Amino acid sequence: MAAAPEGKGILLKADPIAAAFREEVTSTLKTCETKPKLVGILSTSAAPSKFYAEFTRKQCEDLGVEFILKKTGAALSEELSEGDGVEEAILEANVDDSVHGILVYFPIFGPQQDHYLQQVISPMKDVEGLNFKFHYNLYHNIRFLEPKTLLETSTAPSQGTSTIDGEVPPAGMVKSIIPCTPLAVVKCLEYLGVYNRILPYGDRAYGKTVTVINRSEVVGRPLAALLSNDGARVFSVDIDSIQEYNKRPQASSDSTRYNPRHVVHPCHMTLQEILAISDVVVSAVPSANYKVTTEWLKAGCICLNVAADKNFEKDVRDKASIYLPAVGKVTILMLLRNLLRLQQYQCVVREGRESN
């Protein structure tokens, strides 16, 4: 009984997944009257941020998006401190009508102050989808919003908006903005067939079990919420707990009676036990030392590494049928797609104002 060499899982680069969105962005750009302008704000001397800023510039130039890199603080001069002037730069871009999107290179001050800064960016220009309004909509499975509410300074969510299924927004409403990285993961899973197009929109991950390792507010928690709102059974893993995100009650014999959005349950299984039943494993642990144990994976599962470091062992494809080592190329296209949407929302609101 010979071992077939092709038994190793597929190592899949993000390029073919990014290609479809590159085309979408390119063709939408052709229909734009005004070339969209993205402002990047770099205020630290951190090498990864600098690298990401250059990557953004290259992607924008390739596609025909105007990109302006505004440097402040330590990025501008050695005499300045890390983060100096970043808030002012955001506020300036917020009110500059020629600017359609703002991208701030985090981390800057640490989680708490960075979270504050994320809320300073006008939701109308928040290409990364980090504003509380967008997170609230995501967690509550609210898929559409009225564009003018993106100008309101209050972060309180609008009360009247309810969950509406369907891909097309109702009259007067537009799609909410979804955080780039979780959205990129969803697009990768759509490409990989984890989302089943035969199932109704909003429930296409039904029947799939996904483990998401990381529960940060930027990646892991919104991703677990997105996937479970789309019907998946999701295990959310962080350093000291495992939770189950699921809109269906697991114990019931009737899975049709589900909640309009995911409910979080405590999970009493171990990581080894949940990996044994997971069709998909997404890891986003910002540590070079963290590795998912290959032996614990279900044979034929799909593994996505979302961290800058490699969170999977070298032999991951001994168990995984498909391994995607990085999703950055898809993430940047989600960001540009958000930019084009926001530019359009800005138009809608401006026209509305002018006609009143």
Catalytic annotation, residues:
180
Binder among 322, 330, 333, 339 for its own copies (CB under 8 A): 322
**What are phi and psi for residue 136, nearest 5 degrees?**
-60, -45
Residue 1 touching its own copies (CB under 8 A): yes
Cβ nearer to its own copies, comparing 43 with 311 = 311
Residue span binding its own copies (CB under 8 A) among the ranges 21-29, 56-64, 169-177, 294-302: 294-302
Residue 20 touching its own copies (CB under 8 A): no
Which sign, positive or negative, has the C-alpha torsion 288, 290, 295, 297? negative
**How is residue 126 annotated by DSSP?**
B
260 in Cβ contact with 247 (< 8 Å):
yes
Residue numbers 201-260 binding its own copies by CB under 8 A: 203, 206-208, 231, 233, 248, 250, 253-260
Residue 300 touching its own copies (CB under 8 A): yes
Q: What is the four-CA torsion angle of 271, 221, 331, 145, rounded to 10 degrees?
A: 150
Binding map of its own copies across residues 154-183, x = CB under 8 A, - = no contact: -----------x------------------
Q: Where are the beta strands (DSSP E) in 202-286?
A: 209-213, 233-238, 241-246, 263-266, 280-283
Nearest to 100, CA basis, from 33, 35, 170: 35
Which helix (H) or strand (E) element contains residue 18? helix 15-30
Binder among 91, 315, 352, 353 for its own copies (CB under 8 A): 315
Cβ nearer to its own copies, comparing 52 with 191 = 191
Which sign, positive or negative, has the C-alpha torsion 163, 164, 170, 173? positive
Angle between helices 132-139 and 220-229 (to 10 degrees): 40
Residue 111 touching its own copies (CB under 8 A): no
Residue 19 touching its own copies (CB under 8 A): no
CA 194 to CA 239: how far, in whole Å?
26
Shortest distance, CB of residue 316 to its own copies, whole angstroms? 11
Using CB under 8 A as the binding criterion, the count of chain residues that bind its own copies stands at: 50
Cβ nearer to its own copies, comparing 317 with 329 = 317
| Residues within the interface to its own copies (CB under 8 A) | 1-10, 12, 165, 192-193, 196-200, 203, 206-208, 231, 233, 248, 250, 253-260, 277, 279, 294-295, 298-302, 315, 317-319, 321-322
